[in-house]
Structure 1
Amino acid sequence: MADNQSTIALNIGTQRVSMAVFEPSKSGALVLKAYDAESILADPASEAVRAAQISNAISSLVSRAGVKGKVRYSISGQSVFIRFVKLPPLDDDDVEQLVAFEAQQHVPFPLDEVVWDYEILEAAGEKEVVIVAIKGDALDEINESVNDTGLGTAEVDVAPMALYNAFRASYPQLDEPVLLIDVGAKTSDLLYIEGDRFFTRSAAVGGSAVTTAISKEFDVPFSEAEAHKTQNGLVALGGGHTEQLDEATAALAMSIRNAMTRLATEIPRTTNYYRSQHNGNAPKHVYLAGGGVNLPYAKEFFEEKLRLPVDYFNPLAAISLGKGVDGDRVSKEAHMMGELIGLGLRGVGKSKLNIDLVPTKVGEARAAEKRKPFLIGAAALLVGGAALAGLFRMQAASKAEKQAASADAQFEELKPLAKSIKDAADKEVALSKIASQYVNAEEARNYWSDVYRELSTAFASEAIWFTDFSPVAGYSPFGDKAQTGEPVIKDEFPSLPYGQSALNDITVETGRDSRGKTAPSAQVNAIHVRGYWLNKKGVTSNIVFEMIKRLQENIDDGNSHFTFTIKNKGKAQKLEPSQIAPSVQSDPAEGAFAAAFELVLPLAEPIDYR
């Protein structure tokens, strides 16, 4: 079906794989010639067969569409590392070198192990770069699933960037700051768009989190919970919305609302981060995209929580529908087609952002294609040169002798400069170390913000609040000498004079040095949290342990800074709830309206603080 002018677009999500074929019209507009989609069950228990499920879904779409050739496809935002970095004012000739340096500092893997690309963003006189990276072996695995269906690879984009391109083409006159919420299966991408300014961040809450909540609430398998959600589910609203529903439907709606509230709680925090760290403006309008907003009353839920006008994203304004396309289906699923339309715009050169993550095989093929003219030319020169070799051999030998003598003279002339070059190189290394210290300090600051954000999201409830958040060292929950750890930060740190350290001198028996003396611990390995739970109707001290279960869900999903499994005598041992929450008052003190609790939450990776 596809020809050289067609663009085959493929969006690979966790729970849904969709395909579209576009062709340019005579006027240059983008025409949708075919559209189809396949669903995949996003059960966390089936993660091992995810690649096979995706490959089967792509094969089914290719077979039904009858397409062949090269495809432009996008991968989910959760699969990649995205970082926005502001650049100093530099000449264009220096930008590429500076971006490579920034990539080394921000990408959490060696650059030779990742595939990465970048795009320059210029807005309000500032120059910013978005860096996108993915582990090379992970990209190759995805690309193999695509190529196994008979399709080649033209370009690999990332879902948030493709979605941004579709939004800009669909709402070209929109200047006010907006938030585009793309609710996927595992994560939700939050896109902040205002003019040429763009920022995106992922929240670890999606459709599968809603299904998991239903599965646990009603004690049913994941597949059955997914069926309940899609067939009977709706989002409960405030103000007695569920009073008109039957008991089972009302319970299902409240379970969905509680899970969606985790996402709604994350959005204001991300907005504050965007405003404070990237000088952005708060959104004045919200658009919804993705399969996770298909539930009835999802739009009204976000209007209630965000207190902003909310609409479904409609990217169809950027395209025309060709003959034979099911217009009713396309209109119904328009809010899930943004990535496909963004990829189609890449095919006709009308995209604002152009990220291309190049798989290993594609890179090798492109390099070979570039070398082909040179190899043909070299072969021709070799044949012709053989005839002239004898004639020029004597002349070449004489010329080589003169060049050798000239090279020796230049070597002696440049030899005194070697020390200066070495000194300059040493200075560069020293400056690079200093720069790395600043970069590490910034990353550490962001780390603690992310830790607190995760904790606040897991404990999002009107009946719980925190009063103290303290990193501790030397936490050891097992054995006769079990310890909850010692606080790293001094209690009096707000009133300390400028220049005086706010860190406690902590000595924990973590081993002995070469002189037999106790070696001090310089690592934070747990967080000590104090707070209160509100004593009101229907709320008991069990709410603290319910919130701990929420945090456990993040840990189980692999998206947490914490761990509840600690090595004890060489064996992994899961902590008991009483170890995680060593102190939880069952009732408030006399005359009080809230009861205190304490948590000790081990970090998955200890953090150096010296």
Structure 2
Amino acid sequence: MAKPKKILVLDLGMQSLRLAEFSIDKNGELTLSRGASKDFLLDPTMEQSRPEQIRLSVQEILKSWGLRSADVCCILPAHSVFTRVVALEIPGGSVGSNDRIKEVISFEAQQNIPFPLDEVAWDYVIMGETASGAVNVVFVAVKSDLLESICQSLRSAGLIVVSVTAAPLALYDAFRNTYPECAEKTTLLLDMGSRTTNLVIAGPGTFFARSIPSGGLALTAAIAKELHAELEAAEQLKVTRGSVSAGVTAEHHSDQLDSSLALVARRVLLKTQSDISRSLSFYLSTHGGQGPSQILLTGGMAGLPNLREFLTERFQREVHFFDPLRTLSAKDQPSTVTSFIASHSNNLGELIGGALTLSGESSYTKVELLPPSLLKRREFFKRLPFLSSAAALFLGTMAVWYGYFSYEEGEIRGLTSGLRAIVEGETRLASGIRQVMEKTESVQKTASDLLSLIELRSAYPNLLSELSAKIPQRYLWMTEIQPVGDAPQKISAKSSDPIVVKALLVKGLYLDNPRQAAVIDDFVNSLQSSDLFSVNENEKSKIITQRGSPSGDHWAYPFALRIPLRNPLTFLP
């Protein structure tokens, strides 16, 4: 009996990633075989390290699964992908000439994608027609450098990206395959994630998607501000004790903290709900669609207590949870899979949509968002048979040339034996000359070191005198001066390398004064005319490494400067 086909799907979120393995039997039945998730660092300032976090997290999951390498479908979060639905007037509609459709769409892509097309990976999907006959085209684009960094991280971890799609499209695919009875209804899918709330509207022959920059992280930040807490602590409170207040007149929690958390959540979600309503109005006015007859809730925020009831109250329409597992096979599932489903019940839609995308048979939004490096790799494998034939011809030619050069080699070997004796004599003479030159260089280095020592006797007094001359007479004084190089250097008695001082680290205090921290800028500006220090106007931000903010609670505030030397000082070990 043939083994089921295995499919790996990676869903990249703002705060976590989820990796799932699906199997498809010969009947096309999709089964979740196993899944795992890893959380990222919550601090938004760590965004630059996200590719490395992805690599380490995926490596850990693959190691626990006993996998070294596999193909994967990657689902990008909505905040990193540009998605726009445009109604285009195309002669012949969506069933017209393919060449004509591609020509119109290529032109419209330049108008609707807000980046140069050579800097992005982009694709499109035709999603039916409007009532007026215009063709609904969904443009999807992602910056190539971002896509390259993600694919490279996954490749380093052992995953080869064969397909890339966006979260809204994957969610739409999961909905269309899970709720076939809703094909003639208009449904609003609310995917409330960490950074964004994604709206996906699926109707008869229509599609609309929009991302609202408000999600779980906005609520975490609001809790942190309300309670004066750190972001991590606020996130923990949101997860363990958070809920949504039923309203100002509703009965509050007996616990003051729980009540405060619920009111903060309601305040944040009222703004989000207002943005959702405006997006719905835009959809109805520009795309001529019908209002949603049902609302399905999903995403990491969906599990927040009373959120579904809050949305039901605000939209005056019953809100249900999106269940992407309705049509999946649940037979013989191990406890690990059951546990994974239970803990991520609101985050499985994108994974299932990605599996459907990779299977190809049930995908409604097939797009190809591969970076240039993977496209070149795919093109290479297409040309591999022709390259193999060319390589065989090349090797045959090389064999003929090898016979010719073997004969010539014998002739040349006789000539080189006579020259070898001459070269050996010249080599001995060159060795003697080299020894004399090495001794000369050693004497010159010693002389140079002695001259440097003489100059260094007055180096620090001159630097201190220059600082004293340039520092403002009032409000500011220095408490510590320390020589530094490119990086912190540990001086060791056993070190044989010279110590190079390239800057002075100056620390001090400035008094609470009418000009406040501007006296630090005066000090730096005065150093621009110095013959000993290299201070440029456009590098002031690098020189001022600490600038204490005056709060009125102290009489003085700290500052720190890293002042480059115009001529570095070299100390002998």
Write the mapping of 1:242-253 to structure 2, written as runs, cut at 5 A: 242-253=251-262
TM-aligned CA distance change 1:113 to 1:334, over 3 Å: same
1:239: Cα distance to partner? Answer: 5.8
Confirm whether residue 121 of structure 1 aligns to residue 163 of structure 2: no
- Counterpart residue number, 1:591: none
**Residues 332 and 222 of structure 1, relative CA distance in 2, 3 Å threshold:** closer
Give the drift of 1:281: 1.3
Do 2:245 and 2:252's aligned partners in 1 also have CA atoms closer than 8 Å? no
Aligned pairs for 1:485-504 (under 5 A) are: none
The one-letter amino acid of 2:78's match is G
| Residues 224 and 244 of structure 1, relative CA distance in 2, 3 Å threshold | closer
CA distance, structure 1, for counterparts of residue 293 and residue 169 of structure 2: 21
2:372 is aligned, of 342, 347, 360, to 360
Tell me how far apart the structure 1 counterparts of residues 327 and 139 of structure 2 sit (CA, whole Å): 27
- Corresponding position: 1:314 with 2:323: yes
Q: Is the 8 A contact 2:32 2:337 kept in 1?
A: no
Query: Hey, what does 2:107 align to over in structure 1?
Result: 101
TM-score, normalized by length of structure 1? 0.60
Superposed, 1:31-110 pairs within 5 Å as: 31-67=31-67, 68-90=69-91, 91-110=97-116
Q: Secondary structure at the match of 1:132?
A: strand
Distance in 2 (CA, whole Å) between partners of 1:323 and 1:23 is 12
Q: Contact (CA 8 Å) 1:178, 1:284: kept in 2 or not? A: yes
AA aligned opposite 1:78: H
1:283-302 to 2 correspondences below 5 Å: 283-302=292-311
Q: 1:341 aligns with which of 333, 352, 357?
A: 352
Deviations 1:462-506 (A, max 9, x none): xxxxxxxxxxxxxxxxxxxxxxxxxxxxxxxxxxxxxxxxxxxxx
Offset of residue 241 of structure 1: 3.3
Conserved 8 A contact 2:14-2:195: yes
Displacement of 1:161 in angstroms is 0.4
Take 1:63 and 1:240, find their aligned partners in 2: how far apart are those partners? 53
Q: CA RMSD in A?
A: 2.4
Report how far residue 329 of structure 1 moved: 4.1
SS in 1 for 2:252: helix
Higher deviation after alignment, 256-265 or 239-248: 239-248
Change in CA separation of 1:242 and 1:73 when aligned onto 2, cut-off 3 Å: farther
Paired residue secondary structure (2:237): helix
Report the Cα offset of residue 26 of structure 1.
3.1
**2:181 aligns to what SS in structure 1?**
coil
Task: Judge conservation of contact 1:115–1:358 (CA < 8 Å) in 2.
Answer: yes
Task: Tell me, yes or no, if structure 1 residue 135 matches structure 2 residue 146.
Answer: no
Segments of structure 2 that go 5 or more residues without pairing to the other structure are: 92-96, 399-537, 542-573
CA shift, 1:383, in A, is 8.8
Distance (Å, rounded) in 2 between the aligned partners of 1:300 and 1:244: 16
Deviations, residues 314-339 of structure 1 (Å, cap 9, x unaligned): 00023213532532541452221001
1:535-564 per-position Cα deviation (integer Å, ceiling 9, x unaligned) = xxxxxxxxxxxxxxxxxxxxxxxxxxxxxx
Verify: 1:260 aligned to 2:269, yes or no: yes
CA contact (8 A) 2:80 2:142 kept: yes
| C-alpha separation in 2, matches of 1:274 and 1:308 | 18
Q: Which amino acid aligns with 1:271?
A: L
Residue 168 (structure 1) aligned with residue 176 (structure 2) = yes
Cα distance in 1 for partners of 2:230, 2:84 equals 37
Query: What displacement does 1:52 show?
Result: 2.5
1:504-551 per-position Cα deviation (integer Å, ceiling 9, x unaligned): xxxxxxxxxxxxxxxxxxxxxxxxxxxxxxxxxxxxxxxxxxxxxxxx
1:92-136 residue CA offsets vs partner (Å, 9 max, x unmatched): 221112211111111112111111111111245542211111111
CA distance in 1, matches of 2:339, 2:257: 32
Q: Which amino acid aligns with 1:318?
A: T
Contact 2:35 2:340 in 1 (8 A): no
Distance 1:126 1:334, change over 3 A: farther
From 224, 232, 243, the counterpart of 1:234? 243
**Residue 211 (structure 2) pairs with residue 202 (structure 1):** yes
- CA offsets, 1:260-289, max 9 Å, x none? 111111011000100111111111211111
Q: Is residue 185–residue 292 contact of structure 1 (8 Å, CA) maintained in 2? A: yes
Q: 1:244 to 1:69 in 2, by over 3 A?
A: closer
Structure 1 residue 571: Cα displacement = 11
Aligned partners of 1:169, 1:180: CA distance in 2, in Å? 14
With normalisation by structure 2, the TM-score equals 0.64
Q: Which runs of 5+ in 1 are unaligned?
A: 387-568, 573-610
Match of 2:524 in 1: none
Whether the aligned pair in 2 keeps the contact of 1:166 and 1:345 (CA below 8 Å) is yes
Q: Is structure 2 residue 333 aligned with structure 1 residue 323?
A: yes
Q: Which residue of 2 aligns with 1:5?
A: 5
- 1:379: how far off? 5.1
After superposition, the Cα gap between the structure-2 partners of 1:222 and 1:244, relative to the gap in structure 1 and judged at 3 Å, is closer
1:369 aligns with: 381
Cα distance per residue 1:359-393 (max 9 Å; x no partner): 2221111010111122234456779999xxxxxxx
- Number of aligned residue pairs: give it: 388
- Is the 1:313–1:334 Cα contact (8 Å) retained in structure 2? no
Q: Residues 24 and 283 from structure 1, CA distance in 2 versus in 1: closer, same or farther, beyond 3 angstroms?
A: same
Deviation at 1:37, TM superposition (A): 1.3
1:153 aligns with 2:161: yes
SS in 1 for 2:189: strand
- Please list the CA deviations of residues 28-85 of structure 1 after superposition, one character each: whole Å capped at 9, or x if unmatched: 1111111121222432233333333232222222222333311111001110111222
Structure 1 residues 255 and 13, CA, compared in 2 at 3 Å: closer, same or farther?
Answer: same
Query: Could you tell me whether the CA contact under 8 Å between 2:163 and 2:358 is conserved in 1?
Result: no
Q: Distance in 2 between matches of 1:76 and 1:36?
A: 18
SS in 1 for 2:185: coil
What is the CA-CA distance between 1:220 and the residue it aligns to? 0.6
Which letter does structure 2 place at the counterpart of 1:9? V
Q: Is the 8 A contact 1:181 1:189 kept in 2?
A: yes
Q: Quick one: distance in 2 between partners of 1:8 and 1:268?
A: 36
% identical aligned pairs:
35
Deviations 1:7-39 (A, max 9, x none): 000000111200111111232111111112122
Q: Which residue of 1 is the match for residue 117 of structure 2?
A: 111
Deviations 1:568-590 (A, max 9, x none): x9999xxxxxxxxxxxxxxxxxx
Please say if residues 242 and 250 of structure 1, whose CA atoms lie closer than 8 Å, have aligned partners that are also in contact: no
Instruction: Specify the SS of the correspondent of 2:42.
Output: coil
Pick closer, same or farther for the CA change 1:99–1:244 going to 2, 3 Å: same
Q: Which residue number in structure 2 is paired with residue 22 of structure 1?
A: 22
Residue type of the alignment partner of 1:105? Q
Distance 1:240 1:66 in 2: 55
Aligned partner of 1:276 in structure 2 is 285
Q: 1:227 to 1:382 in 2, by over 3 A?
A: closer
Q: Which residue of 1 aligns with 2:496?
A: none
